[in-house]
Amino acid sequence: MSRIHVECKINGDDAEFLCDADESLLDALRDEVGLTGAKEGCGTGDCGACSIIMNGNLICACLAFAPEAQGGVIETVEGMADEEQLHPLQTAFLEHAALQCGICTPGFLIASKSLLERNPDPTETEVRYAIAGNLCRCTGYDKIVRAVLVAAQEMKQNPMKG
Amino acid sequence: MSVVAEDKKVKQSYKHVGTRPVRHDGLEKINGKARFAADIIKPRMIHGHVLRSPHAHAKILSIDTTEAEAMPGVKAVVTASDFPLPKKDEGFPHRPKNLIARDKVRYEGQTVAAVAATTRRQAREAAAKIIVNYEELPAVMTIDEAMAEDAPLVHEDLITKGIDPKEAKPSNIAESNFYECGDIDVGFKEADFIFEHEFSTEAFHQGYIEPHACLADTGKDGRSEIWCSSQGHFMVRSATANMLGWETSKIKVIPAEIGGGFGGKTTIYLEPLAVKLSQKADRPVKMVMTRDEVFRATGPTPGTKIHVKIGVKNNGEITAGKAWLAYESGAFPGSWAKLGKWCVFACYNIPNIQIEALEVLVNKPVNIAYRAPSAPMAAFATETVLDQIAKKIKMDPIEIRLLNAVEEGDYNHSEMVGTFQRIGLKETLEAIRNHPNYKIPLGPNQGRGIATGFWFNIAESSSATVNLTEDGKAVVITGSPDIGGSRASMALMAAEELGIDAKLIQPLVGDTEAVGFTDVTEGSRATFATGLAVVKACQKLVVQLKERASIMWECSVDDIDWVDGSAVHKEGKEPSLSLAEITAKAKKTGGPLNATGSLEAKGQGPGFSTQMCDLEVDPETGRVTILRYTTAQDAGTAIHPSYVEGQMQGGVAQGIGWALNEEYIHNKNGMMENPGFLDYRIPVASDMPMIETIIVEVPNPKHPYGVRGVGEVGIVPPLPAVANAIHDAVGIRLRDAPMSPVRVLAALNQENGTNG
Amino acid sequence: MIKVFLGSNLKSFTNGSEVLEIEATSVRSLIKELNRQYPGIEDALESGFALAIDGEVIANPGYEKLKETSEVRFLSPMQGG
């Protein structure tokens, strides 16, 4: 079976890769493009460790087929910081100890980024429901939620450029 | 958010310990660059896939790999014949028999063979072509089934250990453990009230988000290099070498970042398979488990059946405690019953005790440690019965615990501590009682539950190397995989000893050839024992630094103090020399400044946690919503308070999962029906409230910084705290975990009899 | 004389006695003397044991010295999670 050639934009850069027709986008990102930030925790869309943003939508990359990325725009955790500084969410996660083992962290960062793009001033409950699709086994979510709320306030006061 | 209560007798002020710097490995964890085992690649790498048993119990009549070996892309196949049983065991004689099935498969999912091929797909398709002839056998899936007369035997020749004279017939009871003190009959005679009940818990999985993964590269020189996700790479080395029959020194293990362990990664599953496949294929072999495999074929915590009987006087004083505990161990025996025996009454001074604890074999995956293993189930029983007693004699649940709580000087009947040194159990009870949450009024169908937990913590061996750089920084290399932020704690202790800022410390986890032997990160030992090794190494460095200063000042070492990271002349004859100034001149004063520290640690303090759960029960659906959760834990000294809080909160969340939703569900053929996160339901962010943490600091007198292990005990109280809160809310006593909506509804709808 | 608490797993070697008085100056000599009086006990301990010496738990005992009035309890090997 010959492989499919996909061209898309990843984290603002032009990208291309080869993939099988039934290969997941997660596997393509990790194995073909070399972006290993998104993780496979379950392969069935239940844990959110593979969260990415594709064409503006928060998705589980394990549930998308790699060829679906053709012509699309993909954002992963590797592209969250800009040249000069970390994303406020990244800074907040560090400063508020919102990670322990760190395996779920890329997924939470992307999911929170997606939330704050849609709802820049969420309540605690809104944050909890927005990230309910991301599993964390280490933290009990307390510090993650606090970090997202802090980052939301920071972003309201100091909007990121671009 | 968290209040740190200080021991009035011992107040220490530290400059670095107790602060909250950003962790040193944080940047790579938030930018996607941290490399976990599944992220590691090597040139010409191929992929391994495991063929697993579809049966819970079956004889293996034959295995034919011919067709598989001829499949496209296949480079190697292994079966049990590639792993002859080792002559010597390395403390876990069952491991080589569990890691690949030999004469029989003893649980669904057990490894039968493995294939390495160029792609994962090719390896999967080839594994499907391995022909295995099974003769199915009846399986035992519960304690009752396993203990029944004439039950099918998981091991045909296993005679129960610990019974004298020996049993005549083999059975599924691997071991019987007994403990007794005082006179149990006298104890119950002295009681004014006696309560006894039976409890059960299902098997629960650690649920680490990162599946097991490793990459092995075996060379033609008979050496192999393994990257893996593990809580202990030295253990991976010795266990893998043992199973292969190799010298330990032929294997080098490099710890990747680990995506959660909680005890489930204190053993090996894939590594010997990967090493052997790599050897046969002459290519690096990567193996990553799927989530399905993690649930079916790794090591959840045992299901249990526990019967507790407690007698008290009118004033709440406990006179007698009797417990019968049965712990599953899975298909091979473990020590889970023994641990339950050690923990069931550990929090209280009970003069008359009798405990019988049985280790029971079942056709399920072999159980392995899960955060304070065996203690939560035992606490579920004891703490619920104590709550019943408190309600009966109309005593406040904290007061009855304070009355009976162990303290310094008491002998610990759990056998794991000996005589208690200074401990903080009472302080955690008082911290909850004094917290404003204790007084928040509750509405309809809302309830409050209190429970207390114990974990003994272990110490074991650790090594550390500390190297000072030319520009005044310290590289601290230890052998403890970082599962919760321990690198930050190592840096803080080194900073405190050397007197320099934690930002100038670079904490690393070294591989098995780069740092001295270090036992597994488990038993809440890393900050305690590896911290001691770091302290030892830094203390040696301070001696060296003072010697160098004495050379530079041409004076006696006795004239020099080390203060806040500088050599200070006692009589002020010289301006002080900073660590960086000394290291800059190291070449001129004797060469590089490095030191190691290693020890078999002792003197670890036990951990105690008291927790308060406020919840609401929906009487229509049986759904339980946690409203507020408060936990007070004695941490000794919180080296990095944010990560101590993190450990406390993580343990609580896991315990809540056990209490409300999680369980292994097997069908009548012994197949697991919910091997995925959709139906094995762990708590999500919308299930949980903020978790209020109170770090109680009662310093451990046996550690220079007063450290007590904190990682585990947090998971012990939630089961009974939730159960007690449900009773307080709607008057039903649930004694089977999980207390899922189905069970809550059934109890609510019952006419009589679960009130108590 | 060292007061020794054997624990239930070892009493099969001593005809049921769990509490003994043994003359010994170290853990090593204690085990040798126990084995002399109750042959086979040393082999049984090969697979691992822990001790509490005067209330302090020693996870991997071997060569510790004992005082004349020490109290020694045999424990089973430890495990964490």
Q: How many CB atoms lie within 10 A of CB C59?
A: 22
Indicate the residue of A96, A135, A141 with minimum beta-carbon distance to B209.
A135
- CB distance A132–B691 less than 8 Å? no
Spatial CB neighbours of A123, under 8 Å, sequence gap ≥ 6: none
Instruction: Kindly tell me if the per-residue pLDDT of B751 is higher than 60.
Output: no
Which residues of chain B make contact with A41, given a CB cutoff of 8 A?
A: 209-211, 259, 291, 677
C79 confidence band (pLDDT: 50, 70, 90):
low
Pairing of strands B560-563, B566-569: antiparallel
Considering only residues 10 to 49 of chain C, which have any Cβ-Cβ distance to chain B shorter than 8 Å? 11-12, 16, 47-48
Instruction: Chain A: give the shortest CA distance to residue B291, in Å.
Output: 5
Q: Is the pair C, B in contact (3+ CB pairs within 8 Å)?
A: yes
- One-letter amino acid of A13: D
- CB distance B31–A102 less than 8 Å? no
Indicate the residue of B207, B484, B654 with minimum beta-carbon distance to A100.
B484
User: Which pLDDT does position B88 carry in this prediction?
Assistant: 80
Instruction: Kindly tell me if the per-residue pLDDT of B33 is higher than 90.
Output: yes
Of A89 and B335, more confident: A89
Ranges of each domain in chain A: 4-79, 88-161
- CB distance B685–A132 less than 8 Å? yes
Contact partners of B by the rule of 3+ C-beta pairs under 8 A? A, C
Indicate the residue of A49, A109, A131 with minimum beta-carbon distance to B209.
A49
Instruction: Kindly tell me if the per-residue pLDDT of B589 is higher than 70.
Output: yes
To which CATH superfamily is domain A4-79 assigned?
Beta-grasp domain (3.10.20.30)
- The Cα–Cα gap between B207 and B674 comes to 13
Residue B136 CB burial class (10 angstroms; 0-12, 13-18, ≥19): middle
Instruction: Chain B: give the shortest CA distance to residue C32, in Å.
Output: 22
Q: What is the dihedral sign for C-alpha A151, A153, A157, A159?
A: positive
Instruction: Kindly tell me if the per-residue pLDDT of B519 is higher than 50.
Output: yes
Closest to B692 measured CA to CA, from B403, B437, B338, B469: B437
Which among A137, A143, A148, A149 is the top mutation candidate for probing chain B, defined by the most B β-carbons within 10 Å of its own β-carbon?
A137
- CB distance A99–B686 less than 8 Å? no
Give Dmax over CA atoms of chain B in angstroms. 89
User: Which pLDDT does position B456 carry in this prediction?
Assistant: 87
Pairing of strands A73-75, A4-10: parallel
What ranges in B483-530 are assigned the alpha helix state H?
Answer: 486-498
CATH class of domain segment(s) A88-161: mainly alpha
User: Which pLDDT does position B10 carry in this prediction?
Assistant: 42
Distance, first Cα to last Cα, chain A:
42
Task: Tell me, rounded to whole angstroms, the distance of Cα B459 from its chain centroid.
Answer: 13
Instruction: Kindly tell me if the per-residue pLDDT of B8 is higher than 50.
Output: no
B11 confidence band (pLDDT: 50, 70, 90):
very low
- CB distance B177–C8 less than 8 Å? yes
Torsion angle, CA of B69/A32/A94/B11, rounded to 10 degrees? 20
User: Which pLDDT does position B417 carry in this prediction?
Assistant: 65
- CB distance B162–C55 less than 8 Å? no
Question: The tokens of C41 are what?
Answer: 């006990």
**Composition of chain A by helix, strand, coil, percent to 5:** 40, 15, 45
Instruction: Kindly tell me if the per-residue pLDDT of A20 is higher than 70.
Output: yes
C73 contacts chain B (CB < 8 A): yes
Q: Side-chain half-sphere of B492: how many Cα atoms within 13 Å?
A: 26
Instruction: Kindly state the percentage of chain C with pLDDT values over 90.
Output: 33
Domain housing B545 = 459-601
User: Which pLDDT does position B719 carry in this prediction?
Assistant: 98
> CA-nearest residue of chain C to B160?
C9
Which among B19, B27, B31, B640 is the top mutation candidate for probing chain A, defined by the most A β-carbons within 10 Å of its own β-carbon?
B31
Instruction: Kindly state the percentage of chain A with pLDDT values over 90.
Output: 94
**Tens-digit pLDDT profile for residues B45-56:** 999 999 999 999
Range of weakest confidence among A64-78, B496-510, C13-27: C13-27
C60 confidence band (pLDDT: 50, 70, 90):
confident
User: Which pLDDT does position B7 carry in this prediction?
Assistant: 47
Could you please state the CATH topology (level 3) that the domain comprising C2-75 is classified under. Ubiquitin-like (UB roll) (3.10.20)
Tell me what the pLDDT averaged over chain B comes to: 94
Indicate the residue of C12, C57, C81 with minimum beta-carbon distance to B416.
C57
CA distances from B317 to A105, A148, B393, B428, B705 (A): 48, 48, 11, 20, 35
- CB distance B418–C73 less than 8 Å? yes
Q: Bridge partners of B286?
A: B47, B215
User: Which pLDDT does position B134 carry in this prediction?
Assistant: 98
Cβ contacts below 8 Å, chain B against chain C, sum to 81
- CB distance C73–B459 less than 8 Å? no
Range A56-87 burial, b when 16+ CB lie within 10 A, else e? eebbbbbebebbbbeebebbbbbbbbeeeebb
Instruction: Kindly state the percentage of chain B with pLDDT values over 90.
Output: 90
- CB distance B263–C80 less than 8 Å? yes
- CB distance A40–B257 less than 8 Å? no
Question: The tokens of B244 are what?
Answer: 């292969």
- CB distance A30–B39 less than 8 Å? yes
User: Which pLDDT does position B162 carry in this prediction?
Assistant: 85
Which residues of chain A make contact with B527, given a CB cutoff of 8 A?
A: none
- CB distance C78–B456 less than 8 Å? yes
Number of domains in chain B: 1
Could you report the predicted ipTM of this complex, rounded to two decimals? 0.97
B608 backbone dihedrals φ, ψ, rounded to 5°? -125, 145
Which among A23, A103, A115, A124 is the top mutation candidate for probing chain B, defined by the most B β-carbons within 10 Å of its own β-carbon?
A103
Instruction: Kindly tell me if the per-residue pLDDT of B571 is higher than 90.
Output: yes
- The Cα–Cα gap between B722 and B739 comes to 9
> CA-nearest residue of chain C to B267?
C81
- Nearest-Å Rg of the Cα atoms of chain B is 27
Which among B413, B458, B713 is the top mutation candidate for probing chain C, defined by the most C β-carbons within 10 Å of its own β-carbon?
B458
Question: The tokens of B228 are what?
Answer: 């893996």
User: Which pLDDT does position B756 carry in this prediction?
Assistant: 39
Instruction: Kindly tell me if the per-residue pLDDT of A104 is higher than 70.
Output: yes
- Which domain CATH number covers B591? 3.30.365.10
B165 confidence band (pLDDT: 50, 70, 90):
confident
Indicate the residue of B177, B262, B373 with minimum beta-carbon distance to C79.
B373
Range of weakest confidence among B196-205, B261-270, B515-524, B625-634: B515-524
Q: Is the pair A, C in contact (3+ CB pairs within 8 Å)?
A: no
In a domain, B682, yes or no: no
- CB distance C75–B179 less than 8 Å? no
Instruction: Kindly tell me if the per-residue pLDDT of A33 is higher than 60.
Output: yes
Closest to B255 measured CA to CA, from B213, B287, B288, B295: B213
Ranges of each domain in chain C: 2-75
- The Cα–Cα gap between B76 and B270 comes to 15
Instruction: Kindly state the percentage of chain B with pLDDT values over 70.
Output: 97
Instruction: Kindly tell me if the per-residue pLDDT of B414 is higher than 90.
Output: no
**Tens-digit pLDDT profile for residues B361-412:** 999 999 999 999 999 999 999 999 999 999 999 999 999 999 999 999 998 8
**Tens-digit pLDDT profile for residues B556-566:** 999 999 999 99
Q: Are B515 and B597 in contact (CB under 8 A)?
A: no
User: Which pLDDT does position B415 carry in this prediction?
Assistant: 65
Indicate the residue of B91, B164, B373 with minimum beta-carbon distance to C11.
B164
Instruction: Chain B: give the shortest CA distance to residue A94, in Å.
Output: 6
The length of chain C, given as a count of residues: 81
- CB distance B650–A103 less than 8 Å? no
**Tens-digit pLDDT profile for residues B607-636:** 999 999 999 999 999 999 999 999 999 999
**Tens-digit pLDDT profile for residues B678-710:** 999 999 999 999 999 999 999 998 899 999 999
- Nearest-Å Rg of the Cα atoms of chain A is 16
> CA-nearest residue of chain A to B677?
A46
Question: The tokens of B124 are what?
Answer: 């999967």
Indicate the residue of B30, B260, B642 with minimum beta-carbon distance to A109.
B30
